[in-house]
Amino acid sequence: MLPTINPPGFFWPQAELGTDIKVNEWIRQIQREEELKKEKWDVVLFGVPLSRSSISASGASEFPESFRRSWKGFSTYNLDFESDLQKMKVADLGDVKMHFTDIPQCHSNIKQTMKDVRKQFPHSFPIAIGGDHSITAMLVSGLKELEPEKEIGILQLDTHLDLRSLEDHGPTNGTPIRNLIQNSMIKGENVYNIGLHGFFNSQSLIRYAKEHKLNYITLKEARRRGIEETVQEALLQLESKVDKIYVTIDMDVLDIGFAPGVPASTPGGMSTEELFNAVYAAGLSSKTAAMDIVCLDPTRDHKAQPTVKAGTYTFLTFLTALMNRR
């Protein structure tokens, strides 16, 4: 196993694959290193249970386990595309090791995990299940440090710009994009943020975005153009400028009615249908190389877990796009 990863905290019994099986019977949760060598994995996923670096109180560290527990409620067959995810080999590596109080150590472990995953599984697609949004800066930094000559672009689905001052806030869930820009991991012009709306971004952050030539499209404008069309256009522009595209999905991009279980829930956000369509379009790009899902707090969710289920549905929709693009 990778030195910075613990085995999954929750295991489903493994089953033989066949028709009419559930996601929990399909994804292979790795308990021993020899299991990793049995298959050529299309996708490797890992949890990043960190939320101490969140500006507001957050239980996003609980999402990786809630995510795994939700698998039993989903089939591997996607009726919308008449596609069965069983065609893919997906391994759950476990969770990145977290220190109880040392956030810099947690961030270092996250960055190292991405490096180790890319080295050990160079032909597999890495997906991280957060965790708060601070993890994105570490994951992208890991990719960049491994291949410094490669230009990385960001497709960000989010209600917020995440450009807060590092001097004032440190590496939190409000600073990952600024963190990456200030540390020369990405260029501002290679960031495309779709989903901003309403009263949740200050003028000073908009000024910073403009100074660094970030591409941001408000949700109002994206709806006017069409959500899928907006994402597709952003991807086309990124594909012409970068070597790899990193997709980060902050679940607070959803409207509070669809996602009560996020630390910064807001009215006026995306519907789940809009998010799923955007995620599917993002997964189809041949340059999309990694993805994360962040800022989902199961402790704030309703009893029926609409937000947890939306997060899992987002993950499975993205996998459907990965499979169909091949």
pLDDT, mean of each 10-residue run, the chain (326 residues): 90 85 95 83 98 88 97 97 96 96 96 97 97 97 98 98 86 92 97 96 95 97 98 98 98 97 95 98 98 97 97 98 92
CB 56 within 8 A of CB 264: yes
SS (HEC) of 86-134: HHCCEEEEEEECCCCCCHHHHHHHHHHHHHHHHHHCCCCEEEEEECCCH
Is residue 51 helix, strand or coil? Answer: coil
133 is in an annotated binding site: yes
Beta-strand relationship, 90-96 and 28-29: parallel
* CA 277/CA 231 separation, integer angstroms: 9
Whether the predicted model's global pTM rises above the 0.95 cut: yes
Domains of the chain: 5-9+17-324 (3.40.800.10)
Q: What is the pLDDT of residues 8-21, one digit of tens each?
A: 988 998 888 888 89
CB 158 within 8 A of CB 252: yes
* CA 247/CA 288 separation, integer angstroms: 7
Residue 201 makes CB contacts below 8 A (sequence gap 6+) with 160, 161
Instruction: Write b or e for each residue in 13-38: b if 16 or more Cβ atoms lie within 10 A of its Cβ, otherwise e.
Output: eeeeeeeebebbbbbbbbeeeeebee
Beta-strand relationship, 215-218 and 191-196: parallel
162 is in an annotated binding site: yes
Structure tokens at 204: 């000073």
116 is in an annotated binding site: no
